[in-house]
Each structure stands twice: as structure tokens, then as C-alpha cells.
Structure 1
Amino acid sequence: MLAEQVAFSVDDIAAIVRKIQDDSDTVTFSLEQGDEEVEKGTTQMAATNTTFQSN
């Protein structure tokens, strides 16, 4: 009986850890995409600035 409870607890803990890892992966992916968008925006702003300064 105790062994079964421990086994269920271990399974629950493993599921929680997997969920945390999945959530961390999702956050990492979102942050990376956000960073790419910021870089694109920065590049576009620099190009726009150059255009306005050359006129």
C-alpha cells in the first residue's frame, strides 16, 4: 500500500516537473520571438531615421 502511494506520488511529481518544463519552453520561445521582433523594429527605425536625415 505504501509503495503504491509512493509510486503515485512520484508520478504526480514527474507530471508537475514536465508541466513546468513545458511552460518554461513556451516562455523561452515567446521571449525569443519577442526579441526578434524588437530587433526588426530597431532595424526599421534606423532605416527610417536614415531616410529622414537624408532628405
Structure 2
Amino acid sequence: MAWQRAYQRARTHPHTRVTRLWVHKQRCGWPLLHPDQQQLLTHIGIAPPT
């Protein structure tokens, strides 16, 4: 549930410090995310690290 809440916050308030930190953490841990989570993040413009 925590991941879903943070995802919703990223969708609705993408420019807050908390959201930026969460997005950074998700990108760093991209390989560990479930493919559905990766797809949701990609849908809102968050891409895996290059």
C-alpha cells in the first residue's frame, strides 16, 4: 500500500521534495520493481536509469 500511495503522490504532486526523493529511489531500484510498477512509472514519465 505504501508504494501505491507514493505513486499517487508522484502523479499529483510531482515537484515536492518527498516525491523527488521517492522517484530517485525507484529509478535506482528499477530492476527490483515488479513489471507492473515499472509500467506505471513509465506511464507518468519516469524512466529507468541509463
Do both proteins adopt the same fold according to a TM-score greater than 0.5, normalized to the shorter chain? no
Larger radius of gyration: 1
Q: Which has the higher helix share?
A: 1
The structure showing larger relative contact order (alpha-carbon pairs under 8 Å, at least 6 residues apart) is 2
TM-score (normalizing by structure 1): 0.29
